[in-house]
């Protein structure tokens, strides 16, 4: 009887955990970008700034860090941030379909995209915020 209960519990647990997928949560903005522009050395090295100046590459919003409170809000909702990108302004988390809807409802979330469901063989898609073509990472 104990083995049957253990089997049922493990089967149920595995089926629930198997329904999660890795998603990328795009954030709406970078409210701390003004502080970054005022002090770019807080995120970039002097060598990097010199190289950018020599190549004529100006600072832009993609260089600004992700808003820390957005990452903290994800953790407060029970998500573990597996990775993040300041250039894409978002974070990767594992989520169920219900949790994806919960994420999408957050005021700081622009969109929630699945890593695995990429029907584009080139791996390129439009970034939801700026419309530029970006390389999509597929993680299995």
Phi, psi of 77 (to 5 degrees): -80, -5
Average pLDDT over residues 7-25: 66
Is residue 6 scored above 50 in pLDDT? no
pTM metric for this prediction: 0.70
Q: Is the pLDDT of residue 10 over 80?
A: no
- What was the pLDDT predicted at 19? 87
Are 123 and 132 contacting, i.e. CB atoms less than 8 angstroms apart? no
**pLDDT tens per residue, range 53-100:** 999 999 999 999 999 999 999 999 999 999 999 999 999 999 999 999
pLDDT greater than 90 at residue 101 = yes
Query: Sign of torsion, CA 95 99 101 103?
Result: negative
**pLDDT at residue number 139:** 44
Kindly state the average pLDDT of the residues 31-38. 95
Quick one: 74 exposed, middle or buried, by C-beta within 10 A (0-12, 13-18, 19+)?
Answer: buried
* 136 or 82, which is more confident: 82
Residue range 37-58: mean pLDDT, rounded: 95
Between the alpha carbon of residue 97 and those of residues 2, 10, 14, 102, the distances in Å are 32, 21, 16, 9
- Computed on alpha carbons and rounded to an integer, the radius of gyration of the chain in Å comes to 19
pLDDT the model gives residue 49 = 95
Spatial CB neighbours of 53, under 8 Å, sequence gap ≥ 6: none
């Amino acid at each position: 009887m104990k083995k049957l209960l253990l089997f049922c519990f493990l089967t149920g647990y595995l089926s629930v955990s198997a329904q999660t997928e890795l998603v990328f949560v795009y954030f709406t903005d970078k409210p701390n970008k003004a502080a970054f522009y005022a002090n770019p050395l807080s995120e970039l090295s002097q060598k990097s700034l010199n190289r950018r100046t020599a190549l004529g590459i100006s600072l832009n919003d993609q260089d600004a860090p992700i808003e820390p409170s957005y990452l903290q809000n994800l953790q407060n909702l029970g998500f573990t941030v597996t990775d993040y990108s300041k250039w894409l302004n978002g974070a990767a988390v594992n989520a169920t379909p219900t949790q994806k809807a919960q994420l999408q409802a957050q005021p700081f979330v622009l969109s929630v995209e699945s890593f695995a469901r990429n029907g584009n063989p080139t791996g390129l898609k439009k970034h939801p915020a700026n419309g530029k073509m970006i390389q999509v990472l597929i993680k299995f």
